[in-house]
Structures are given as C-alpha cells and as structure tokens.
C-alpha cells in the first residue's frame, strides 16, 4: 500500500486572478513547496541545500495536471504526493491538491522529476541512501 506525503499550504489573496480564482500556474508553486518539504523529510534535513544533499538537485521532466474545481478564496489547501515509480535517477509521483476538510479535489495528476549531476548537469542516479528512503516511504 502506498504511503502519502501530506503538506499544508496557504493560498493568499494576491494569488487569485481577475476572476477571483487561483491562477493555474500557482498550483505548480504549491506543488514545488510540497516537493521541497517531502525531500527534506526523506533526507532528515531542516532545509533545501543542493551543495550538501546532491539528491535534491533535480529538474521536472514531465507534469500532467488536471484542474477539477477552482480554488476561489484564500486559505489552506493540502498537497498530497504518492510515489508511483522510482527509476535509477527519476521518480514519478502522483499528486492531489485538495481542500483540507471537505475533500474537494482542486487539481490532480502526476509529476516526474530527474536527478542531475551538479557538475555536468546530466541525469545521474540517486544515492543509495536516498533511493532506500524513497522505496521505504
């Protein structure tokens, strides 16, 4: 059974567009914030430091997002990530952005990231420790 990483995020008034809805690009910002916290959790570190932790030097390879219901007011949202597939230097995670209490799903989809070498900027494998942490999550 998959384990889900849950991150609470806050939507602010200035993120809403002229229609009073969360602009579609802002959903991605909340996904990025959740990804950072997920990696910090896996690594057991308090911050995001690519010089210290090579496994967080990643780029987004692909993103598939489906917008289900608009976020129409400031407040809390929940971002949930579930690991779907781990490869030597990549991972695909399912995500869901939803209301924290009533379960309304605002957006869902998948996101694949690829680890890069900080020296060559080419794809490279996860460290053994990080891969084990992902596999055991």
Domain boundaries, the chain: 4-136
CA distance 110 to 134: 16
Whether 40 has a pLDDT exceeding 60, the answer reads yes
Mean of all residue pLDDT scores within the chain:
94
- Per residue in 41-99, pLDDT (tens digit) is 998 998 888 888 999 999 999 999 999 999 999 999 999 999 999 999 999 999 999 99
CA distance 17 to 15: 7
> Would you say the pTM of this structure is higher than 0.85?
yes
Would you say domain 4-136 falls under CATH 3.10.129.10?
A: yes
Answer yes or no: are the C-beta atoms of 116 and 122 closer than 8 Å. yes
Sequential DSSP letters for 14-77? GGB-TTSSB-HHHHHHHHHHHHHHHHHHHHT-SS--TTT-GGG-EEEEEEEEEE-S---SSEEE
Residue located via tokens 């998948």: 110
């Amino acid at each position: 059974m998959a384990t889900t990483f849950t991150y609470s995020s806050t939507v602010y008034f200035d993120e809403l567009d002229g229609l009073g809805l969360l602009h579609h690009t802002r959903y991605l910002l909340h996904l990025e914030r959740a990804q950072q916290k997920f990696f910090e959790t896996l690594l057991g570190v308090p911050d995001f430091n690519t010089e210290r932790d090579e496994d967080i030097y990643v780029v987004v390879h692909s993103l598939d997002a489906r917008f289900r219901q608009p976020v129409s007011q400031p407040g809390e949202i929940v971002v949930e990530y579930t690991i779907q597939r781990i490869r030597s230097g990549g991972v695909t995670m399912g995500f869901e952005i939803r209301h924290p209490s009533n379960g309304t799903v605002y957006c869902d989809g998948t996101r694949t990231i690829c680890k890069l070498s900080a020296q060559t900027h080419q794809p490279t494998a996860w460290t053994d420790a990080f891969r084990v942490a992902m596999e055991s999550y």
